[in-house]
C-alpha cells in the first residue's frame, strides 16, 4: 500500500538526476566547464567537490540542476549549444521508450515533454532563445518576449484542454 508513493518519489528523483547527467555529459563532450550540480532547492544538506564540480543535495527534493560556464556555451556553434541544452530531455525520451508502460517510463516522458515545451527557463525555451538570437544576430526583446508569452499561452491552452476533456 505504501509502495506506490515511494516508487513515485524515487522514480522522479532518478529521472531528474539522469536528466541532469545528460546535460553534464553533453557539456563535457563539448568542453564546457560544469561548476555545480544539485538535487533539490533550499539550504544545502550535503555537499562535496569532486573533480572541480560542487555536488549538492538540498533540503527540498524538488527539481535538479546543473550550472555550467554559460559564456563558454554561448561561444560554441549552435549545434553544440542545442546538443547541451536538449541532452537532458533526450535522456528522458530514451528512458521513457526503454521503460514504456511503467511509472518510471511515464515520469520520464512527462519530464521530457515538460522540458522541451517553451516555458520560461525550461530547455525548450532556452533552445528557442539560442536559435532566435542566432537568426536575428543578438537579443531582440520584442521577439523574445513574444516567444516567452507564447509558451505560457500554449501551456494554459493545453491545461484548459486537458481539464475540459475529463
- Catalytic residue (one of 20, 36, 71, 144): 20
In this structure, the dihedral spanned by the alpha carbons of residues 121, 148, 70 and 46, taken in order and rounded to 10 degrees, is -10
Residue 86's CB is within 10 A of a number of other CB atoms, namely 21
The yes-or-no answer on residue 20 being catalytic is yes
- Which grid cell sits at 13? 528523483
In whole angstroms, what is the distance from residue 99 CA to residue 11 CA? 11
**Phi (first) and psi of residue 37, to 5 degrees:** -140, 140
Active site (catalytic) residues: 20
Amino acid at each position: 500500500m505504501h509502495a506506490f508513493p515511494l516508487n513515485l518519489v524515487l522514480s522522479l528523483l532518478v529521472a531528474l538526476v539522469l536528466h541532469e547527467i545528460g546535460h553534464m555529459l553533453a557539456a563535457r563532450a563539448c568542453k564546457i566547464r560544469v561548476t555545480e550540480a544539485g538535487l533539490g532547492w533550499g539550504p544545502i544538506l550535503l555537499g562535496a567537490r569532486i573533480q572541480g564540480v560542487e555536488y549538492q543535495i538540498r533540503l527540498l527534493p524538488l527539481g535538479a540542476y546543473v550550472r555550467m560556464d554559460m559564456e563558454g556555451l554561448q561561444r560554441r556553434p549552435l549545434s553544440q549549444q542545442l546538443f547541451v541544452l536538449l541532452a537532458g530531455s533526450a535522456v528522458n525520451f530514451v528512458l521513457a521508450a526503454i521503460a514504456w508502460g511503467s511509472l518510471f517510463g511515464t515520469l520520464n516522458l512527462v519530464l521530457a515533454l515538460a522540458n522541451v515545451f517553451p516555458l520560461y527557463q525550461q530547455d525548450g525555451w532556452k533552445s528557442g532563445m539560442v536559435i532566435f538570437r542566432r537568426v536575428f544576430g543578438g537579443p531582440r526583446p520584442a521577439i523574445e518576449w513574444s516567444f516567452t508569452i507564447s509558451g505560457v499561452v500554449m501551456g494554459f491552452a493545453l491545461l484548459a484542454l486537458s481539464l475540459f476533456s475529463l
